[in-house]
Every structure is written in structure tokens, then in C-alpha cells.
A = this chain, B = another copy of it.
């Protein structure tokens, strides 16, 4: 790109400090430097949830890594040298890193400038359904405990890269790996005072995201600011270190959970107090509570539930949305308590799960309308395949154990914005090539292939006849973006609707050209066939040319927009998704009692995917998710001391490698959802949800100790073993009654 400059960001070395002064004169004087920007010389407005952030901080910094200044220079080296020449005077402020401490009104106030924030509580999510106190009184057993999930990172192989360029007419084009191009466009405009009609966002092929590229980040705005200032295209590439420090992570969440059941194992209530450690600013991650709450109120039939949740600011790098979005964390708590309470009642945990399993037609207390539901079948498959009934509880002397976990997750979109829609345009030309222009974004999850399959199936053409176009806001119809495992369901339905119209137009022409009634025609593998008349079959290309190459001819084009039949939640109640995915995992582990090392031997998984449109890719998604879940369970953690990420690199972070992942058995359960395209439901996040819970339960089965946190790294497991960490049973089970 001609004239491309390199951008770089100066970040705060302090976890909390007032900016006293900033001197950019030396940096500006460095040959090759085209712009040095900071809060004092740019136009920017607060952005994000709570409007608690600005791209470049002017008053104070709130975590180590906060953006203070940025430069654009002719090359990387000059840009880095220029950063060194910027002098910032800070006045350090008292800090708070622990979210429970942060809740104390006497703690340092991180966002004292925000009027709508009380203390350090960014958001509260409170929920009451049914009479928890009465249920508690009735319960034959109650278990309780505190379960903690760490700060983890999405770790895409490609770090964030943004290029911004203004053309002479002030039209801005941004190349960004963002998931949500249309929302991104609006946020860029709102924050920078640009006209969003004159912004094009192009999503090039993305080298992985896993949620880390869902949010707009300061570096996105900064790249645009630098391009605006220099009148040159600017590229900003996050180093691996910056990727860990300066982009969004999975925030730590702490669940104080109580579960009660009657003597037969019927669940009576759940009561949760949750503290989500948000870090210095809000992001989409602050809404992970939305999903965590669903799992607490609606994973299995739970008549009464209560949730108190505080999303808390601390002086740390901040949370974002990562695959699973609160659900691995919530499931870690909920599904451990399913086994803890079964044990307390002397029941088999699988029996307890099946007794309480969600059923098709259920409306959960939070308003989730369960359409298709394969939870029972999933549980039975993994029970059978793992030899659960014979093996669970029998292998402790060999330090081996089995543990299970199930999950529910949105599988038909999630209306967290006022539209959950997606548009599609399909055209067929004289070569019979079919193009789908979809609002959806491909992040490597395989959505292009699935959407092509849906269109190919609906029209009746070979898969390779369908081309999917999906990268540019100017070209593609609106879509809210990739999140909540929604693409196959929402974009798939939109594509299918448009493809149906296309098939109808093709058949109209076939009726005319072939002289057969429409009910005797079908399109198979790109050929129009006439029932009982082999002679009349005609390839679609030829049919299209008959349609086009005449006076008043035309090609075939159709558009569709699909917005699922869901509602925005009101007071956390409402059916946010048009369908829900379910599944169950059983993990088998071996724990070294000497070192605390947990080795995962087997993982059996069964997933209700509605319909596996692309079975190989569905299995791949589940395996990939499960591998990430195994990483969360056993090794991944951003270790932070005094607000400083200790080792922001791939070597120390603890990403699992191939040798850490055993063979994963994937069973696809097809429940043919009534609303899904060909019955499909979303499954992109599913695999990551149960492993941590299932592995924790397996560790408990193997050792008798109860894992309270993940990752279950050896030294922690050893500590629990040494301390004899047990399930906390507040009321005794039926076994003893």
C-alpha cells in the first residue's frame, strides 16, 4: 500500500496513576516520524459500555498497558524509537487488584469520573425467581462452595492488525479482523466524530479470534486517528506481548454457589453470588454474566433461583468476550455441584442429571423457550461410552476418576442488541455460478462453507458452484456480527430464504422452457429434472442462458433478511435465542498424588447440534472447542502480580499443544430444530464449555478432593490434596436421612 506508515502505542507502566504532563517534542522531531498523538491533540469521545474508556488517556491511567500516546512513522524501528522519546510524568495512585477488595467503599476509586458508577461496581445483575428461602427449607441436601475461574486469553495465532486509510474525499477504509464490522463502523464514527456513511470496514481473512477480536479496542481508534492526522494509510500490528496485555481477555469470575435438591434428587434451587473481575474498563465481557446467569437459572430444571452479581473494576487489563462467554466459568460451578449434591444424596450424578434434564417445550424460569433438546440423549451416550455406571467411583486406588458435565448454550442467535438479524443476497448468472453475499463474517470457523452448503442444498446445485462473499461493509448486507454461535443459525436462515426465492425463479423459467408443470420439476446437482422425462433434463447454466439471452431476459437475484423470533430481555427475562444447544462430556483423568499433575486420558462428548450441516466441520468445531476447554481446565492462565502480567508470551501462558489433548470422541446428536436452517443450531462455542467442569469432577472422583478453581495446575491440585479440600455440604443428603 503506497505511503503506508507504521503505528505504535505508548502504554502506561503504572497500574493506576494521574498523568501530570506529556512531552512529545523530541519524538516529533525524530526524522521519519509523521505524527505523535495523545489525548491533548486529538478528537475523541468516551466509548464502550458505560462509556468508561477513551482511546488515548488524558487524565489518568488505570492499568499497566493503558494507551497514553501513539506515533506513526516510516517504519517499525522509527516508531519504537519515537515512543522512547515521549516523556510522560505520572503521579502514581493507590491501586486495587482484588475484586473483593475493590467492592470495599474505601478502596481506590477507579472511575470516579463516571456519575453512573457506584463505587467500583461497573454493573450489577440481580435475579430472583421463585421462593429460594422456602426451597432451601425443603431441601434434603444443600451443597455450597466458591468456584473461581482465572484470567485467560483467547490467543489467536494472528495478533490484531489494523490498517486505516482516508481517501482524498475523506472516505475512511479500515481493514480490521473485527467480528462485528457494522457495529465497529458505528463505534468508530461515534468516538472519532466521523460520518459513518463514509466508512468502509473490510474484514480480511482472519487468523483466529475466539472472541478476542469481537470488541473494538483503543488500537483500532488510534490507527484511524493516526491516518487522519498523517493523511497517509497507517498499519498497526500488535506484538504478541501487546496482544496479551493490550487486548481483551477472559475476565476472572468468582461464583459463590449453593444448590439444593430433595431426597430424590430433584433440584429445588440455586443461589449464586458472583463477582466478575472486570479489570479497568468494560467491554463486551462484562455481559458474560448474561450467559452465566442462564446456566444458573436454566441448566436443568431449577424451580427457584437467585443471582447477585457485581461486575467490578480493578487496576488490571480488562475483560472481553472469549468463546463460551461466561459459560465455562458458570458450568464449572454448576456442574460440580450437580455431582456434589448427588454424592450428598447418595445418588448417581447421571441419574440426577437425567431426572432434572431440560425437555423440548420447556420454558425456563428466565424465559428461555426450549425448542429442540437432545440433553437426555447426550447424557446417555457419554454415560454409555465412558462405562460410567461400572467405572465411576471405582478407580480411586489407581488415582483415576470419571467426571461429567453438561451444558446449555444459545444456539439460535442471541438478541443482545435490538436486531439479531443478518442479510443475504444471492445471484445466479449465465454460467450457473451462484454467489451468496452474506452479512456474516468468516473467522476461520467455517461459516463460508456451511453457508455455501445451505445455499447449494436449497437450490439444488453442487457445493462448488456457490461462491460466498462476506468481507466488506459496502458490499454485504447488514449483520450484527459473529457472537453467540449464531452464524449457522441466523446467517444460514437468511441465506436459505434468499436461496428459496432463487430456486423459485429458476423453476419459473424451467416451467417456461421445459413446458412441464412446476410440481414435476426438481433441481438436482445443478440440473433441472422433469419427472418421468429424461430427455427434458437441462443443466442450470443452459437454463440460465435461456432466461438471460433473449429480449427482456434477466439473471436470477434475490435478497432476504432474517431476524430470529426472539426478544430483548427485560429484567433479565426473555427468550434471547431462537434455539438452544445442549451437550454432555465425560472426562477420565489420572492424578499423580505426588505432584498433583492431572493427566486427561479420555474425553467423550455428545452434542445436540440440531443438524450437522457439515459434519466434519461440526466435529472439528467441537474438538477445537474441547481442546480450548482442556487448556482452560489444566494449564491456561494469565498470572498477574500487582497488575503486571508476569509472562505475556506463548511459552509461559500454557496453551495446550497436541500432546496435551487426548483423543476426543465426538457424537453429533441431531434433533432437527424446527427453526434452524435444515434443523441446525449453533455450535461454535459448545465444545469449550463442559471440559473444565467434567475434568474437575473426574479429579474429585479420582482423589476425593474438590477442585475449587481452574486451571488445575499441579501445584494447586497438590495443595488441595494436602489440605484435603472437600465438597461443602451444608445439609446432609438422603443417604443419611
Which residues of A are interface residues toward B (Cβ below 8 A)?
Answer: 169, 182, 185-186, 189, 196-200, 415, 417-419, 421, 423, 425, 427, 429-433, 435, 437, 464-465, 467, 469, 473-475, 477-478, 541, 548-555, 557-559, 561, 563, 565-567
Contact = CB atoms under 8 A, between A and B. Distances in A.
Given A549-B419, A550-B419, A477 B198 contact: no
B548 A478 contact: yes
Contacts of A467: 200, 474
A428 to B, nearest CB: 9
Contacts of A419: 548-550, 553
A431 B197 contact: yes
A477 B427 contact: yes
A185 B423 CA distance: 28
Contacts of A197: 431-433, 464-465, 541
B548 A464 contact: no
A194 to B, nearest CB: 11
- Top 3 closest pairs, chain A to chain B, by CB: A418-B549, A554-B561, A557-B559
A553 B427 contact: no
Contact of A565 (B417, B551, B563, B567): B551
A557 B431 contact: no
B437 A475 contact: yes
Contacts of A541: 197
30 contacts: A169-B464, A182-B430, A186-B430, A186-B431, A189-B431, A197-B431, A197-B465, A198-B433, A198-B464, A200-B467, A418-B548, A418-B550, A418-B553, A421-B554, A423-B555, A423-B557, A425-B425, A427-B477, A430-B478, A433-B474, A435-B475, A469-B475, A477-B555, A477-B557, A551-B563, A552-B565, A553-B561, A553-B563, A557-B561, A558-B559
Q: Give the one of A196, A425, A478, A561 with max B CB within 10 A.
A: A478
Contacts of A473: 429, 433
A548 B421 contact: yes
Contacts of A185: 431
A195 to B, nearest CB: 8
Contacts of A430: 182, 186, 478
Nearest to A554: B561
B200 A429 contact: no
Contact of A429 (B169, B182, B549, B550): B182
A477 B563 contact: no
Question: Which of A169, A185, A417, A429 gathers most chain B CB within 10 Å?
Answer: A429
A555 B561 contact: yes
Contacts of A182: 429-430
A707 B196 CA distance: 59
Contacts of A437: 437, 475
Nearest to A427: B477
Contacts of A549: 417-419
Given A419-B549, A429-B473, A429-B477, 13 more contacts: A186-B431, A196-B431, A197-B465, A418-B548, A423-B557, A425-B559, A427-B477, A430-B478, A433-B474, A475-B475, A551-B566, A553-B563, A555-B561
B474 A554 contact: no
Contacts of A561: 553-555, 557
Contacts of A552: 563, 565
B553 A421 contact: yes
B474 A435 contact: yes
A561 B478 CA distance: 23
A461 to B, nearest CB: 9
A99 B464 CA distance: 49
A340 B430 CA distance: 50
Nearest to A568: B551
A203 to B, nearest CB: 15
A549 to B, nearest CB: 4
Contact of A469 (B433, B435, B474, B566): B474
A165 to B, nearest CB: 15
A465 B418 CA distance: 24
A429 B478 contact: yes
Contacts of A199: 431
Contacts of A465: 197
Nearest to A183: B430
Contacts of A565: 551-552
A420 to B, nearest CB: 9
Nearest to A550: B418
A200 B567 CA distance: 41
Contacts of A418: 548-550, 553
A70 B142 CA distance: 82
A418 B552 CA distance: 10
A143 to B, nearest CB: 40
Contacts of A189: 431
B427 A423 contact: yes
A435 B419 CA distance: 21
A197 B431 CA distance: 6
Nearest to A198: B464
A364 to B, nearest CB: 20
A442 B199 CA distance: 21
**Residue among A189, A437, A567 with max Cβ neighbours from chain B (10 Å):** A437
A464 B429 CA distance: 30
A557 B464 contact: no
A42 to B, nearest CB: 23
Contacts of A566: 551
Contacts of A557: 423, 425, 477, 559, 561
A172 to B, nearest CB: 12
Contacts of A559: 425, 427, 557-559
A475 B470 CA distance: 10
A433 B186 CA distance: 12
A589 B417 CA distance: 71
A196 B433 contact: yes
Contacts of A432: 197
Contacts of A425: 425, 427, 557, 559
A559 B477 CA distance: 13
A197 B514 CA distance: 23
A196 B561 CA distance: 29
Nearest to A186: B431
Contact of A567 (B435, B551, B567): B551
Contacts of A567: 551
B200 A555 contact: no
Nearest to A424: B557
B423 A554 contact: yes
A477 B428 CA distance: 8
A594 to B, nearest CB: 49
Contacts of A196: 431, 433
A548 B541 CA distance: 36
Nearest to A566: B551
